[in-house]
Amino acid sequence: MTMKNKTDIIDKNPDILGGTPVISGTRIPASLLKHLLDIGYPDKVISIEYPSLSTKKILAFKKLISEGYHVSASN
């Protein structure tokens, strides 16, 4: 899976968690992943606790954040 842009990483669908932005292919809110990273959870621990979050997805999300993507419960 090659993740190239925001739509490859973040999914916003009214049928998934009421339209809350989630990591694509999961029901994990982007805001939750951002919070876990902000408080220092290692990528490996996140991928163990949330098996649908591969290391590749976590790294792609971190890159998106580093490029200025702002995470909120409603973006």
What's the confidence (pLDDT) of residue 73?
65
- Residue 50's domain comprises 6-66
**Low-confidence residues of the chain, pLDDT below 50?**
1-3
What's the confidence (pLDDT) of residue 72?
75
Spatial separation of the C-alpha atoms in residues 42 and 18, rounded to whole Å? 28
Question: For position 18, which CATH number holds?
Answer: 1.10.10.10
The pLDDT mean for the chain works out to 89
What's the confidence (pLDDT) of residue 1?
44
How many folded domains does the chain comprise? Answer: 1
What's the confidence (pLDDT) of residue 74?
62
**3-state SS string for the chain:** CCCCCHHHHEECCCCCHHHCCEECCCCCEHHHHHHHHHCCCCHHHHHHHCCCCCHHHHHHHHHHHHCCCCCCCCC
Q: Are 43 and 61 in contact (CB under 8 A)?
A: no
- C-alpha 37, offset from chain centre: 10
